[in-house]
A and B are shown apart, each in its own frame.
Chain A
Amino acid sequence: MALNIIVCLKQILDPEIPVRDFRVDAEKKEAVRGSANLVTNIFCENALETALQLKEKVGGKITVISYGADSAEDSLRKALAMKADAAIHLLNEGNPHPDALTVAQTLAAAIRKQGEYDLVMVGRESGDWGVGQTGGLLAEELAIACVNFVDAITATDSGLTCNRQTDVGADTVVAKTPLVVTVTNNEFNVPRIPKTRDVMMSYRQPLTKWTIADLGLTPDEMNAGNSYYEVVDLYIPVKEINCEFAEGDTLEDRVDKFAQKIIEVTGTM
């Protein structure tokens, strides 16, 4: 069963930026980019890797879609270098922080416009806002099933079998297509590193760009402000924690102090 797979990618501020370099703009309610890189959200890359492995087994086509600023093109080019077949950039005009519903509606419109599909894959959450709702809302918008926290998929004649991580272990979920899955990481879906040649080639590949209007959505409505949720405050919590290091002349003394503290804290619980 050759599969038509859509992978949604989000570009985010590099989550590896050291805490001391991290600032927020309280007015704009966003992180200050500074000298930090923009990267593809790791779970989205796990999704792409899972898609690539699936395609290697059963054949098909992988289309990557990103809704975002001009820079999102970099995420799409990287995906092409990793061997996705086609890329679509949904231009985000005038709504720098679309809420989860706006994102899902925009992606759903693009998925419909691009034609047939069997499987839509998104990361389980993003490394910036970590909202974790895109998959579920997308499934509702497309009126199809959704399986969360998937880390492996196999295709059979009757549909797709997903391994889903749970709090206590794992579920096997058998699903019909079309299907949305949210992907989490495991040791087998670590994103591959594209070859230099493929990275160079990716810049010559076509990239489709669609505006909100191209999707048949009214720009005014989509950019009017978010109707689902709104960030009203963003701040770096001041944690005035001064670690009290156990002191003493001997190791025994210090361990004793440490143990006393533990008992003191547990006693108040």
Chain B
Amino acid sequence: MKDVIIGLFASAGYDRAAQGVAGAGRKLAAELGGKLHAVLLGVADEATKSAVASVVDVLTIADQAALQEYQTENYLSALAEICKAKQPAAVLLSNDTYSQELAPRLAHRLGGSAGADGLALSVVDGKVRVTRSVYGGKAMASIELKKSPAVVWLRSRAFDTAPARGTQAEISQATVELPAQLSATITERKVEAGDEARLEDAKIIVSGGRGLGGSEPFIELRKIADILGAQMGASRAACDSGWVPPSWQIGQTGKKVAPGLYIAVAIHGASQHLAGMSDSKCVAAINIDKDAPIFKHCRFGIVEDYRKVVPLLIERLKELKK
């Protein structure tokens, strides 16, 4: 029981989240002295398969017809069956909706322990420890998962990507037994229009708050994001006001992000917002109020009305980017 399994969804491809999970998995496997396995659920394209195969030691593909689309009980059964056979020390998942749904139930079926929203992993006396933020981001905790395997979902962006190995993984196909009938079935999937790559995976995020006063200023912020190759985010106040879609929301009840640079424009820095972004590597803010709590988390900032700053900033960034 030294191996580490990463559970990936084919539908997501080998995205930044998967890369972070693989990176965390590689380090953990090295610490435990075991191999890194990937289980790819669903029908993956060749690019995804070969990308995953280049970073793990063993790749198991479970792509039978019933696994084409996520259904909780099917995915749970598949992962549980494959993991049972491999007896890993740890199973790592991303922090997307479905992984979070699966993790505790998988842990229960494997007789293991689950850990939430890991920002770092370590092994002490053979047991996996998860470092995570608690109390709405006000404190950090280190939690020892006492039963093996340790099933952990990770804030994927907080982990470096896995290095390529130079050799391809050993690949096998698994056909698993699935429940004859589902007790809960996803019958419709709505995708919000205009949703791009996952915000959780963004390198740079430009985020706007209630201080912007409406949806129009977000069009201006988008220009900054475009220059920097960034994605857009928002505080709950801006989402609740209907200025931007709910999927942009960052915070305790929104997305948990950890980009390299987070630019907060007219965001106050309420604890619930910080809970989603305080693990960003660098935070910068534009706010009219120098005492806004967001500045306590900033590496640099500017105290000024965004309406004056943003147009100049767009011009200046354009020049500097040339």
The residues of A with any CB-CB pair to B shorter than 8 Å are: 13, 15-16, 19, 22, 24, 29, 31, 100-101, 125, 127-133, 135-137, 139-141, 144-149, 162, 164-176, 179, 184-185, 187, 226-237, 239, 241, 243-246, 251-252, 254-263, 265-266, 269
Chain A to chain B contacts (Cβ below 8 Å), 21 pairs: A15-B271, A100-B114, A136-B103, A145-B183, A166-B97, A168-B192, A175-B184, A229-B143, A229-B146, A235-B141, A236-B138, A237-B140, A243-B296, A244-B299, A246-B301, A251-B308, A254-B304, A258-B301, A259-B320, A260-B320, A266-B261
* Distance between Cα atoms of A133 and B140 in the complex (Å): 18
Which residues in B have their C-beta under 8 angstroms from that of A185?
253
Which chain B residues numbered 243 to 291 have a C-beta less than 8 Å away from chain A? 247, 252-253, 255, 260-261, 263, 271-272, 282, 284-286, 290
* Distance between Cα atoms of A51 and B288 in the complex (Å): 42
Q: Which of A29, A31, A135, A255 has the most CB of B within 10 A?
A: A255
* Distance between Cα atoms of A229 and B317 in the complex (Å): 48
Q: Which of B101, B188, B297 has the most CB of A within 10 A?
A: B101
Residues of B in contact (CB 8 Å), total 82
Asked if B203 is an interface residue, CB under 8 A from chain A, the answer is yes
Asked if B298 is an interface residue, CB under 8 A from chain A, the answer is yes
A169 touches B247 (CB 8 A): yes
Q: What residue of chain B has the Cβ atom nearest to residue A22's Cβ?
A: B138
* Distance between Cα atoms of A244 and B284 in the complex (Å): 9
A50 to chain B, nearest CB (A): 15
**Overall SS of chain B's interface:** mixed
Q: What residue of chain A has the Cβ atom nearest to residue B108's Cβ?
A: A140
Answer whether A169 and B195 are a contact pair too, CB < 8 Å, given A234-B140, A266-B204. yes
B220 to chain A, nearest CB (A): 14
What does the 1/0 interface line of B29-53 toward A look like (CB < 8 Å)? 0000000000000000000000000
Answer whether A22 and B101 are a contact pair too, CB < 8 Å, given A176-B183, A232-B143, A263-B320. no
A168 touches B247 (CB 8 A): yes
Asked if B185 is an interface residue, CB under 8 A from chain A, the answer is yes
Q: What residue of chain A has the Cβ atom nearest to residue B301's Cβ?
A: A243
Nearest 5 pairs between A and B by C-beta?
A136-B104, A145-B183, A175-B184, A133-B104, A233-B142
A146 touches B312 (CB 8 A): no
Interchain CB contact (< 8 A) of A255 among B105, B272, B312? B312
Q: What residue of chain A has the Cβ atom nearest to residue B70's Cβ?
A: A171
* Distance between Cα atoms of A93 and B261 in the complex (Å): 46
B302 touches A254 (CB 8 A): yes
Q: Which of A135, A165, A167, A265 has the most CB of B within 10 A?
A: A167
Which residues in A have their C-beta under 8 angstroms from that of B302?
245-246, 254-255, 257-258
